[in-house]
Structure formats: C-alpha cells, structure tokens
Chains A and B, each alone.
Chain A
C-alpha cells in the first residue's frame, strides 16, 4: 500500500511516509522537528498552527493560510507548504517579520508564527491589501497578549520599510512554482492499515473507485472530506475515526465557479489540467440551459461542490455580494480557505450560515453518486437533525443559485462574538417589492430547530402586504409558531425565540438602509 506523499516544504521537495489521519501540525512537529508551528486548541479556532499552502488552480499558483491542525498531511501531495522556518531566508528577516518587530506586535511569541504566516498569505494574494482584507486574514489568529492594536499597525510599518512588492515573495517561490506546475496530478491513495485516504482528480475516478470498493461502502465506515474542518476535529477530538476518507478537494470539475448573466457565461473554471476544459465548458452550458430555459433573462451562479468559502469572497462578490457577505461572517480565513459551501450544506448543522440564504434564493443542488445524478431543491434537502436527502455515496457536484433580478436579499446572524463565532440564530430573507408591496417573500432561519428551517407561513404572511415596519412587526407572531428553539451553551431557548422575531426587523431595517443608499446614489 502506498503511504508516501511528495510535496514542497519551504521550497524543497520532500517525500515522506505518512498515516491517513496525520495532520500538517503533527507532520511538522513530529516528523520534521519543525516546532515553529504551535498547537493552541487543536480545533481550528486559534490560528497558532497557521501555515501557508501554495497550490495550482487554473494554471496559476495561489497561496492561502490554512489551519495546520485541520489540514491533513495527505492533502499536501504536489502542494507547497510554507512554515515559519521558511520565512527568513539566509538568516535575513522577511520584511513582514521586521515590520512585526518594529510595531512591537509580538509579546509572549506563541501566536507570532501563525500571525506572521497569515500576513504572508495575505500579501502573497493581495499586493496592496485594504484594512478590511487585513482583518479578514487576521481575525482567526487569537492573541491574548497584544490586544491586536500593534498587529493592526504592521501594514503601516511594512509600508515604512518601502518594500517593493516582489520582496514580499520568498526567494524560492518562482522555482518551486515552476516545479509545482509540472507536477503530475494523479489520484492519491494512502492506506496505513487502520485508516485510508483517497483523493481522486476527477468525478469519474471517484465513481470507479466507489464501484470497485463496494465492501468498504457497505460497511458504511467512510466519510467524504469536503474541506474537512468538522470531520478532522471529529477524528482528533471526538474519536470519530473512519476506515476511509474520500477527499473531494482535488477534483477539478468541483472547483468550478460559473456565472450566467442571461447572455454570456463568465467562467472561473479553475481546472488543473487543460484538456478537460472544453468538455467542461460544454457541461456548464448544459447545466445552465436546464435552469435558464424558462426565463431567458435569469441570472444564475453555479458553484462547484469543492469551491472553498474563501473563493466565494474573492470571486463572487461582484455578482452576488449578499452571499459573499454571509461567508465573510463565517469562521476564519484559515478555515474558509479549505472549507466549502457544499461541506457547510452536507454537514447539516442547524446553524450552517450559508444554508438560510441559499434556501431563500431557491438554490438547488446536484448530487452525484453510483446511481447517477439528481437535482434537489435545497429546501427539500434536510430531513432532520444531521439527516439529509444525501445518500451515503452521493456527493454534491454543484450548487445552482438563481439570482433574481433586483430582489432584496439579506442575511443576519447573532453570536456572542462578531467574528469567528457560530451563530446562536441566523436568518435570511429574499423579497421582491413592487410599488411598496411585497410581491414575493422567502424567509429561512437557522439555530431554531433541528435543521435550518424555511418559514412558509411567515413568508406567505408577508406577501401582498405593504413594505412597512408594521408589516414585519405583524409577522413576529407568525414566525414564533413556526419553530420551537432549544437552549444550549450558546444561548437560551427564549433568546433564540426572540431573535427569530427580531431578525425579521433587522431585515426590514437593512431594506430601509438599502433604499436610502439607492436614493443617495441617485
């Protein structure tokens, strides 16, 4: 059995035998004696184990920060792992490191390697980051000493060093990138006897693998990794092991983001191998035509089952800003860079933040499996607590999101902390308003039942009524009949019940604000 992976570690090709469940955190500390990476929590919530991954997407190398405690070492095949030991070259500090010292942005030093690498990932992807982008990349790095004020000043100190953009790039990147681009992309299979890991490059390979491993499938002792931010925590902290992990992250077709504006298809078709491209373009046309038939003018966004949350922010903000805004409020960049929209859906958490919004815009998901392909409305996908329409072997191939013309779409969540926190309650709304009257309304809430709930009564209640505060106040009573929340460590049942109502008012206020903004623009 193959247990060997090949990857680049700070510019050098490495070949090493690993176990299927080994994380990057364990690999670096135990196998390479690289102790710069720290374990602060082991569940992706503190950022002390942040490392940078360089990977090929659409013929280009992209860099991202990932949580080393959640990122399986098996995923490293062909990728470039940059650790804190790779930042200073020939004992000369990297400008980011120098800026951190000038800003006095390190105290006890335990979080500093992670902080440094988060900033590096940011500057490798965005040459001139905004304040918001800096916060986006750093909000996952907990620091208990500095209070962040000094960390926030690092970009200013970096600018003071008057560093040319190319100096941010590490000396060994160009050479490593060339090697990465010529790296053969093939299926990865690792079996250490107890656990196995399979990562195919295409959906066809996945089907063939499932077909030839019926016994494993029958045992039901396997799990898809679609980002893995929850599955790996389960393995490491809750002792939920699987005989087989099926990683979807290398399947090129699942990496598609595709936008149809009524006439043209804009593709962000990030395929690792070029020869697939034409065939997939045709596939995408077929996908769109099945939805665009009825309404020629409809706008549609298609998101592949392997698209990460970070890419939603980076690549769909211009066409669907409301969705990108939801994703921005979820977890941290280290987690968003691997976690996927599809993973957020199939995990079936009642507080999944992407689900309410996708429900109210009437998104559909396309499932693939051994029995073929089928298409399900997201609203019909959830059956109960952690129970879904998804059959054991099925995976989400893509998500189709119709973007109604001029609909008002809004998402609200309440959580103890504003960033990097799980919702106590979340809520999304989609409204079509004409001449002050609500023509169409869809509302969905999370955190108030066993699954995210679409609220049919409240939605119907709003339709036909005036777009006024009193209308939404009137809906309070209706929505309270649609769910019976329970209490837990995050909040009480009573608070959740009230938030279900109050977030309706937040939607109304957001609508008002959007109208004011439109007025102002005019």
Chain B
C-alpha cells in the first residue's frame, strides 16, 4: 500500500487552526439553538410573572381568573412545587418561585402555561397580585451599614500592614468603584422540557451547567436525579450568565411539564432576560497603600465589597477570586485583603468572564495609577519595579508558577507598543490641544487557573470508536462559542492520529457524562480535554498492543488515519503499516474494547478559606495590554486609538481560536469600562433593559490599530497539550483603556479619583468639570 497524501499536511492536529467545528452549520444557519429545535407535538409555552417590587411581603397571588382564560392550561405558584422550593447552588438561600416575600424586581412569582405565547401573556395580566411594599436596600453602603451579607466575610493576610502604615512617608487611601455588566449573550435564556416514559424528563437548556440543572430540577420536582436528563448542544453565548442562572428557567419549565404532562418551552425576551437575570458584580473597595519614593509598594490593604444582590448564587466564589487577584502581578510583602459579599435587593449578581478577578485587579491597577500621579513617575516603571519574579509567592502562600513570564511580557510589550515614544508624542499633543487630550494606559494580568472550589476541578469524557474508524466523543464541557469542541476534537485527532472529519463531538448529556462541573473558570478545556486525553490514551494503549501483536513492530505513529512505522527515529510515510479503519475492524473481531470513559482531577489543589492560605491554582496565565485613547473634553466622548496585547496561553492548541478569545474578551472589557451602563431607578428597577439603552461595543468601537501576540516559548507542563486556559484572563485588558482615560484626564493637572467603571461620556465630562472647578479655585 502506498500513501499518496502527504502526511505532513495538517489534519487538524493540536497546534493548527482548523475551521470551527460547527462552522459550516453556523454560516449556513443550520446550527440549532434551543428555540430552533423541532417543536414537539402538543408543546405548551411558559411565561413568567416577575416581581414588580424589589422588596415586599406577598399577601396573596390570585390566579383563579387567569386560569379560566382561553388556551391557559395551568397557572402555577410556589405552592404547586412538589419537591423543595430551593435552587441555591452553593448556599441554599434561593427559591424557584417567590414564597412569602419578594427580594428583587424580576423574581419569578408565578408562571402561566398556555397553548400559545400570546395566550400566556394575556393570562399574566389577569393574575391578581397583592404585595406589601418594603423599602429596598440597593447599594453596597446600605448593606454595609446593616451588616447584611450573603455569606461570610473573608480575609487573606501576609506581613503586618498596620505597622508599615504607622510609619511611612508615602501613603494614599481612597475608594475605587466599578458598576456591573450585562452579559448580553445573543441567545437569551431558553429551555425546552419534554416528558419521557417511566416518569422521566429531558431538558434542553441553554445552560453552562447541565449537572446543576439536573440536580435542581430533581430537587424542585422531588424525584431522583436519574429521572432527569439534561442535553445541551450549544449556547448562543454564555460568558458566565448561564452558569447558575439558567437553572431557575429550567426548573420552571420542568414544573410546567410535571403539572401538564406535556412538553413546554420557556424563552425569555431580551427585556425579560435583562430585567430578571443577574449581572457582573459591582464593587466598592476601600484601599490604603504605603510606598517609597521610587514607587515600591510597602504595604497594601484592601476591603473588597461586592454587591451580590438578593441571594448568594456564586457570589462567595466570585468574591474569593477577586481577593485572590487583589495583588495582580505584584509582589507585596505586607498585604491584607478583606472581602464582604453584600446583600441587597437587586437581581442576584452572578458569574461573568473574569469572575471577580477583573474587579480585584482594577483596584490595585487604579492605586498604582494614582501612586504614579502622586510621585510624578511613569506607572509602567512602578509596575515593573513591583512585578513578580521567579520564586515569588502569592499572599495566600502559593508559589507563582512561571512568574518569570511577567517580566518577559512587561519588557516585550513596552518595546512593541512603543510606550516611551508614545508617551512623549502624547505629551506634545496635549500641550498643543485645548479641547482634546490623549492618554496611555497599561494593565497586566496574572490569572489563576482552576476553580477555587477544589471539588469542581474534575473533568470527564466518554469515547466510542466505531467499526469504520469514526469516533464519538462526549465530554463534560458545554460549547458556547469558545470552541472547546474544536480544541477537544483536535486533542482526540492528535491522539488517535485521525483527521477531524472522523470525530464527532456529541451534545453534553447527563446520561453520557455525569456529575460534571460547570463550563466555567476558563478551565473546561483543561479539565475535560485531559479527560478526553485519558480516555483516548486508554483506547490507544489497547490499539498499540494490537499493532504489536499484528506486526511485531514496537515503534509506530498514528497520523491522519494511517499507522506508520518508525525506524531509527524516521517515520516511513511512503508505506503505512495499515489504516486506522482497518486496525479498528481487526480490534473489534479480536474483541478489544473500543470505548473508554476518561476522568481527570487536577492535582495538588487546596485552599483553606478560614486561614486564607493554600494552593488554589494549578498554574497561572499571564499577559498585558497597552491602550491609547483620545478624550473629547467638550463632550467626554472617548476614541480608542490603539491597543497592543501580549498574552501567554502556553503552547496553543488552536492559535486562531485563542486570538479570537483574546479579541472577544478585550471587546467585552472595553464595553465594561466605557459604554455599558446599568441604570437603575430609586426602586431598584433596571432602566437600561434593552439594546436601545444598554450599549455593548459595535464593530466601530474596536481600535483601528490592534496588535495581538501570543507569547512565544511558553510551554505549560501541567496543562493539556502544554496549553494554558484562555477564556477569562484577557477580559482584564479592558482596564488599560480605563487607565488611559484616567491618564488623559490627569493631563489637566488633577487626578480624576471619582471616575468609576464605566467611564461613560457623561461621567468623564463630570471629571473634566471637577478639574475646571478645582482649577478655578486655585486661580
């Protein structure tokens, strides 16, 4: 047999950038999202009645009239829940349908199940609600004043900050604020629930967390988890917004199935989604910092207060990550980090790309910016002076793996972005321009990879090899655009030595992979990729044994569907020993097991919350960004002129996917720090609840000059195929844009300390006005 194809041509193996695994379906419109699935016969539609009040007592919910309307099959409230009215994932403080009292605007009070959406909507208006209004608490200040938290207050501490503060020549203190952010996944929350025989149910949900849906639906219905199957093919975006907050909708659709015996669909409109579901956490953080004349940080104390909304959701974990990122890339000997998860009457804040990390990092980055202003130094110099070096330890005691990458990134970015030249050019520009000012900002990131909840660091996979050499893979991650499926298919293609076309990644299904962790923490490819690695290597071990039995040749490689002999380190591509397909057929007749379950648990991870010490991360991802902006002093409007990013993603499994993740995360970061503004009224109602008023970036908001480079020569020895996780860390680069705005405003001679995220035109204008005022008073 002679091989005509050149085997060195890429077949989708690790390190190349093949097309998106679902790309063909995406561009032809064939990709199915929940609302695109074929509608089952007898489908009913579910609409929710959201609470109109942020806080109040439920006196009565009268559904009698609504029940009589045409097309209405059921109207359900908390009393109709057969199991436990409880869906809190970490802390059991969250109900599925409001009972006795309401805690936030948008909290589901009742559902209508009807033959059509229109009929369900008509019935919603006929539910008579009697609520007794109470004064809501909406702000972090409100919660702090009353000591209202959704979980325990935590602390991480090293050295003795008070001692340094007591005797230091340079000291600053202040408050740093950021507002929340709407996920704005393009596919809104959506679920289809279908009854199965023997009391079972299948749930198709747009969720990052099939396991939690399975558990909570079983809990709410009072049935065993084995009765509930969750199947998830793909999400139209998640970004954390569907990690825990897809659960309630799935439970409500399941409740409707339970009572009607018919399939049900619940899809939120954009407005409903934005009103009812939680966002990124707003933070209000108090800091104190001591430093020397050269900008070396001597002591840093920070109190991170997050606005968690009405229930805990994943807020305690988000706050923990904020605390674990409070020092970012800097070695600070004396440091104290306190975290308080504030309880208010807003929709429960939840996971959002970065998961608290960006908020924790934002404080120290802002502090250094202000130190630089105070000392008259370049913030880049201060950052370099304080940066982690090889052998350094984080405040929680973990040795920073690959810490030397920080310095590498800092040096290269300074050169590539022409930081020093730009600074000079900008100073000259600002001297000659009265109505606009330019600024330059830099933000590095050190992002810890792993779930901080130790038990979640596990992945699983199920692989079947079929007789024609094609392969079916189910793994524990959910595809939501991050191309975990493409990467995992590449891992399998590499291990089996088959082209990508021979691999099918199945939907995530609780019957094929069980007890999975949510697709989150940037680590779904790390964990489930490793599980796929383990499963594929298990099958390969059997196949290699067979090759040895058949050919008595110990040294062979599997590539692109062929098995080649290797002699003296040279692969004989001319004459393959056999094909993968033929080998698999033989294996079947030899009764070799062609299926395998794979499992992986990250080693050596632990964290003691009470002492604030441990080894919470397997490794770290690094990088940094520089951005230049122009601020229009008349309007406060911003133009993002250029951005340079260098990012460490180890040895990339798919470089174009990783660059795409950086670009996407950066754009979300730009939106968070500039135009995306959540405007609430005094009653706690979100006013910017549609894209007409809530502005995520468009194509015009991305800088014309955008350079992204993957750090060369990085090999992550503890990562899957020596890669590093990519999803969240680059989100932090948006903060460089914010710091650039601050820098531009500093050219007016005053530090814009009240400017918070997002720096909307109006807020920037207010800072400009304050500059004028303080300037006037000097005159």
Contact = CB atoms under 8 A, between A and B. Distances in A.
Interface of A: 34-43, 45-46, 48, 83-85, 87-88, 93, 97, 100-102, 104, 106-113, 116, 135, 138-152, 237, 414-422, 424, 489-492, 495, 498-499, 502-503, 505-506, 509
Contacts of B35: 35, 39
A108 B660 contact: no
Contacts of B760: 416
Nearest to B27: A97
A144 B696 contact: yes
Given A97-B28, A100-B27, A150 B660 contact: yes
B774 interface: no
Given A45-B690, A418-B637, A112 B660 contact: no
A89 to B, nearest CB: 11
A144 B668 contact: yes
Interface stretch (B184-192, B303-311, B462-470, B495-503): B184-192
Contacts of A101: 19-20, 23-24, 27
A88 B699 CA distance: 25
A447 to B, nearest CB: 13
B634 A505 contact: yes
**Shortest 6 CB-CB contacts between residues of A and residues of B:** A36-B29, A108-B481, A147-B667, A110-B236, A84-B29, A109-B26
A414 to B, nearest CB: 5
Contacts of B660: 104, 107, 145-147, 150
Contacts of A37: 29
A46 B186 contact: yes
B722 to A, nearest CB: 22
B762 A142 contact: no
Contacts of A113: 26-27, 29
A106 B693 contact: no
Interface stretch (B44-52, B612-620, B700-708): B700-708
Contacts of B23: 100-101, 106
A489 B679 contact: yes
Given A110-B33, A150-B660, A421-B695, A38 B187 contact: yes
Nearest to B708: A149
B237 A108 contact: yes
A231 B79 CA distance: 41
A503 to B, nearest CB: 7
A410 to B, nearest CB: 14
Nearest to A137: B699
A473 to B, nearest CB: 12
Nearest to A107: B481
A116 B27 CA distance: 7
A36 B234 contact: no
Given A149-B663, A416-B695, A498-B765, A36 B184 contact: no
B17 interface: yes
A37 B635 CA distance: 38
Given A108-B235, A108-B236, A505-B435, A148 B20 contact: no
Q: Which of B183, B237, B656, B766 has the most CB of A within 10 A?
A: B237
A45 B664 contact: no
B675 to A, nearest CB: 5
Given A104-B20, A151-B699, A35 B32 contact: yes
A36 B30 contact: yes
B698 A419 contact: yes
13 contacts: A85-B28, A107-B481, A108-B236, A110-B186, A110-B187, A110-B236, A116-B27, A139-B699, A144-B664, A144-B696, A148-B702, A414-B635, A498-B769
A43 B691 contact: yes
Interface in B595-651: 634-637
A498 B657 CA distance: 45
Given A93-B24, A107-B481, A495 B762 contact: yes
B270 interface: yes
Contacts of B706: 149
B239 A144 contact: yes
B145 interface: no
B25 interface: yes
Contacts of B428: none
Instruction: Identify whether the interface residues of B are mostly helix, strand, loop, or mixed.
Output: loop
B666 interface: yes
Contacts of A145: 237, 481, 660, 664
Contacts of B659: 104
A46 to B, nearest CB: 5
B359 interface: no
Chain A contact residues: over half helix, strand or loop, or mixed?
loop
B358 to A, nearest CB: 16
A148 B657 contact: no
Contact of A42 (B187, B269, B668, B698): B269
Interface of B: 17, 19-20, 22-33, 35-36, 183-187, 234-237, 239, 269-271, 435, 480-483, 634-637, 656-657, 659-660, 663-668, 675, 677, 679, 687-688, 690-693, 695-702, 706, 708, 760-762, 765-766, 769
A142 B696 contact: yes
Contacts of B270: 40-43, 46
B25 A109 contact: yes
Contacts of B695: 416-417, 421
Contacts of B696: 142, 144
Contacts of B687: 489
A113 B481 CA distance: 14
A11 to B, nearest CB: 16
Contacts of A36: 28-30
A35 B483 CA distance: 22
A150 B187 contact: no
A40 B435 CA distance: 39
A38 B186 contact: yes
Contacts of B700: 135, 139, 418-419
B27 A147 contact: no
Contacts of A106: 20, 23, 26-27
* Residue among B22, B482, B761 facing the most chain A CB atoms (10 A cut-off): B761
B30 A147 contact: no
A146 B664 contact: yes
A491 B695 CA distance: 13
Nearest to B693: A489
Given A104-B20, A147-B668, A505-B435, A41 B690 contact: yes
A312 B372 CA distance: 50
Given A46-B186, A48-B186, A502 B664 contact: no
B674 to A, nearest CB: 8
Given A108-B185, A143-B186, 18 more contacts: A35-B32, A36-B30, A43-B270, A46-B691, A85-B29, A104-B20, A109-B236, A113-B27, A116-B27, A139-B700, A146-B660, A146-B667, A147-B666, A418-B701, A499-B635, A502-B635, A503-B634, A509-B435
Contacts of B675: 416-417
A111 B481 CA distance: 11
A509 B129 CA distance: 57
A495 B663 CA distance: 33
A490 B692 CA distance: 10
Contacts of B36: 35
Contacts of B271: 237
A152 B699 contact: yes
A396 to B, nearest CB: 25
A498 B17 CA distance: 51
A164 to B, nearest CB: 21
Contacts of B664: 107, 144-147
Nearest to A504: B634
A107 B482 contact: yes
A104 B762 contact: no
A193 to B, nearest CB: 15
Contact of A148 (B234, B636, B697): B697
B184 A144 contact: yes
A503 B695 CA distance: 22
A233 B130 CA distance: 31
A97 B30 CA distance: 13
